[in-house]
Structure 1
């Protein structure tokens, strides 16, 4: 019996999530499905992951086969039983499910540039505060600009960054998983 059908959503613990995400292939499965936002065939998913792992297009056949087998026998059943994906082993199709939202919270801590969102926002806030203080204390060149301009500029940057972050993860907020 799978976790999805026998337990409420709160059962997927932080430990379970970390166990799911500690494997590169399982993380890549979730990322690929997020990118596609639709049901994906196992063969296509295995090819995409093999290409990602090898950096070759197409990936060597033995690597594609190895990825296919490990996904089919190990990773997809684990993600399915946790309720992160719905894996139909007969039809060989995979799609994201409701627990993907909970798991995604642990995946999306770093921007695509390698900086955590927390560090990014902290840096913006620190720079804004620094420039406002310099402007208020009369430091040449900086004090020529009204502190309200600095504050407004950085608030706009923070708002724009937040909208970007929400837009790139919109599938979490708009999708209705089973």
Structure 2
């Protein structure tokens, strides 16, 4: 079978309706490499249980569900390349089309949308209070908070768009 080139909205929501499929995509995007089924199931089981290592029964349950249901479904839709014989899985470029449908949660436990809204509101508040001559803040030039918060938006956007690869590169460079 040839993978579909475009997914319909019901297919997209069908894939993303399951937490294990969402976590699978997030793990594959994060790693940007081929996962073994065993390693992927252990990662998902750890995330589900909050224990490292996750209980054996949960790891086996996740392994079986991925192998029998989730990965074949995503493979048929052209989102991942799943080799059931070798038990390897890789995200395909088409899977990135689902990114707008997934609200990614930061390490702080909030979504990027919430983060940007809060950053915008705080920046707007800081800038307008300097313009309104509020005591103590009225002495600050309004360009200072505006510039600081625009800089924070730029740095945050760069971090989000690179998916933390800069952090990965720095960690790798420091190990040498």
How would you bin the TM-score normalised by the shorter chain? 0.7 to 0.9
- Distance 1:136-1:101 versus aligned 2 partners, 3 A rule: same
Q: Secondary structure at the match of 2:90?
A: strand
Mapped contact 1:82–1:99 kept (Cα < 8 A): no
Match for residue 24 of structure 2? 29
TM-score, normalised with respect to structure 1: 0.82
Q: Displacement of 1:169 after TM fit?
A: 6.3
* Among 70, 74, 78, the residue aligned to 1:75: 70
CA RMSD of aligned residues (A): 2.0
Q: Deviations over 1:136-171 (max 9, x none)?
A: 22221111101111111111111111111112166x
Q: What residue ranges of structure 2 are gaps of 5+ in the alignment?
A: 166-176
Match for residue 126 of structure 2? 131
CA distance in 2, matches of 1:83, 1:75: 13
CA distance in 2, matches of 1:55, 1:122: 29
Q: Does residue 39 of structure 1 match 2:34?
A: yes
How many residue pairs get aligned? The number is: 165
TM-score, normalised with respect to structure 2: 0.82
* Runs of 4+ off more than 3 Å: none
Pick 1 or 2: higher relative contact order, CA cutoff 8 A, min separation 6.
Answer: 1
Q: What residue ranges of structure 1 are gaps of 5+ in the alignment?
A: 171-178
Mapped contact 1:12–1:82 kept (Cα < 8 A): yes
Mapped contact 1:39–1:94 kept (Cα < 8 A): yes
